[in-house]
Amino acid sequence: MVTLDTRTLTVPVGIVRMLEVVLTCISFSLVASVGHFGSSYWAWCMFTWVFCCFVTLLILIMEFTTLNVRVPISWDDFTTAFAMLSTLMVLAASIIYPTFFTCVSCGKQIAATVISCLAFLLYATEVGLIRAKPGEISGFLSTVPGLLKVLEAFVACIIFISLDHGFYSRFPGLQWCVAVYSLCFIFALIIILFTICRMLSLFPFPFDKVLTGYNVLAVLMYMTCVVIWPLYSFQNNHSRPSGCGRNCYWDNQVVVAFMTCFNLVVYIVDTVYSFRLVFFVTPA
């Protein structure tokens, strides 16, 4: 029997989620009314608003009908991971869309951007409301290492939508970089899914040590990409071509190079944090 819990809609998190649904729905409706653009960046922005809107609505419905207690997953980990991911996705959409698809006289596009920025603030607020506080017992994804895993997977997604197959397929070095991005993304996704589905006990070794070893390996592989990607991408074009338009291939290479450096920093922080938890924190 379904029990309705109206309190889930009146607590601060519930109110924030309802506003998120409204704002993301308005954003993708405004952008859809303008028309379609054959660009991976446009597709990413539209996917972000639609995905965040409907998953947030699903979370509201599940908690309102108390069906969330019946699903065989860690609900707290799921909602925390989704809130963190949505914050990053909406932030990226709020930057990417006006950069490539907005002009001074584009009223609907400007309105969609402003509303998307407000949605980002709401998702960031939600993360602050539901994130685990020091001393609280909660799931892995509610902790700093868990949130870093979500961040690492998100940055890899930004790299993927910026890749040009026709470009990187010509150089073995760049193919290695794409392989690194893909392998690290897959492993981060596996950790997130195993955590949400409560399957971490299936790891044949202690999870914290597996995580530390993976982080060290990811740092080493990303360090090679930080060197190799710019070396091949900018060896014959150190500056932006003068005749390149708004959707310039050179800009995509810069995005990939920057995000590679950014993800390396995230992995280093994750590794330091993992070492601290494994080797320097003694159980009480």
Q: What is the mean pLDDT of each run of 10 residues along the chain (284 residues)?
A: 82 94 95 82 92 96 90 86 92 90 86 95 91 56 82 93 85 93 93 82 78 92 95 79 72 90 95 79 49
Cβ 175 vs Cβ 183: under 8 Å: no
Predicted pLDDT at 155: 94
pTM equals: 0.82
For 220, the enclosing helix (H) or strand (E) is: helix 207-233
Q: Which residues contact 270 (CB under 8 A, 6 or more apart)?
A: 145, 148, 149, 152, 215
For residue 87, the Cα-to-chain-centroid distance in whole angstroms is: 8
Predicted pLDDT at 246: 67
